[in-house]
Amino acid sequence: MKRSHVNRILTEAEGMIRRHGFALPPFAAWTPEEMIANKTAARALIEARCGWDVTDYGGGDFDALGLALFTLRNGRLADLQRGGGMCYAEKLLISKQDQVAPMHTHVIKAEDIINRGGATLIVELYGSDDDGNYAEDRGGTVLRDGIAYDFAPGERLAFAPGESVTLMPGDWHAFWGEGGDVLIGEVSTVNDDETDNIFRDPVGRFSTIEEDEAPIHLLVSDYATWLTAR
């Protein structure tokens, strides 16, 4: 993806989040220079990979296959493994109309996916086989707003603003906005986007950025280069 395209996506995302009355934390507005200047004090945020993330999953067509998101907070895997401490995470995601986040599951993370505002959120679901692999002939059970719901393989559930679904490891899911863009909340156990996203089809979780202009904000995928080399 070109950096100029990423910058436009971030500007649009900030506007949508603001229109829905959600206030982002101060570090969301930091320029790269401010992030570099604060990198020691913000070490916990950086190590937890909190901040902006934009991906086209390597497909080159962000509007068809992509996602913009902001990680607000993220716990520590070590705490989750020992059963106490900061074991939670929270994100905002923007799913544009008909823009697919591809079929995937998680090994560790359980998550609530919440329609925070906008159009209808569609979540397509499949179950797993006995080894946790995608199974096109298996359904499963999820919680819809806390109520158990048995889904058929490939069933597409629709969620209006305020409605949510709880997904456990092994619940294979894809999602997109229907009828317009959707602001999505995610509340989960500790999030690890580098190792705990298991995709059905080969995709790239993080996009390669072509630097055609200066970034307005750093992405979490920028941290390793921008914050260690400066």
Picking from 135, 117, 230, 119, the residue whose alpha carbon sits closest to that of residue 180 is 119
3-226 domain in CATH 3.40.600.10? no
Distance of CA 172 to the CA centre of its chain: 15
Q: What is the 3-state secondary structure (H, E, C) of 24-87?
A: CCHHHHCCHHHHHHCCCCCHHHHHCCCEEEEECCCCCCCCCECEEEEEEEECCHHHHHHCCCCC
* pLDDT tens column, 181-207: 999 999 999 999 888 999 999 898 888
In whole angstroms, what is the distance from residue 50 CA to residue 47 CA? 8
Confidence (pLDDT) at 229:
60
Q: What is the pTM of this model?
A: 0.95
Q: Where are the domains of the chain?
A: 3-226
* Beta-sheet strands, E only, within 75-170: 88-95, 101-105, 111-128, 134-135, 140-144, 147-151, 155-159, 164-167
Q: Could you tell me if 99 and 177 are in contact, meaning their C-beta atoms sit under 8 angstroms apart?
A: yes
pLDDT values of the chain reduced to their tens digit, one per residue, 230 residues: 999 999 999 999 999 999 999 999 999 999 999 999 999 999 999 999 999 999 999 999 999 999 999 999 999 999 999 999 999 999 999 999 999 999 999 999 999 999 999 999 999 999 999 999 999 999 999 999 999 999 999 999 999 999 999 999 999 999 999 999 999 999 999 999 888 999 999 898 888 899 999 999 999 999 999 998 65
The pLDDT of residue 217: 98
pLDDT of res. 204: 84
Q: What is the pLDDT at residue 194?
A: 86
Per-residue pLDDT, 37: 96
Phi, psi of 71 (to 5 degrees): -90, 115
Write down how long the chain is. Answer: 230
| The two structure tokens encoding residue 157 | 């559930």
CB 137 within 8 A of CB 154: no
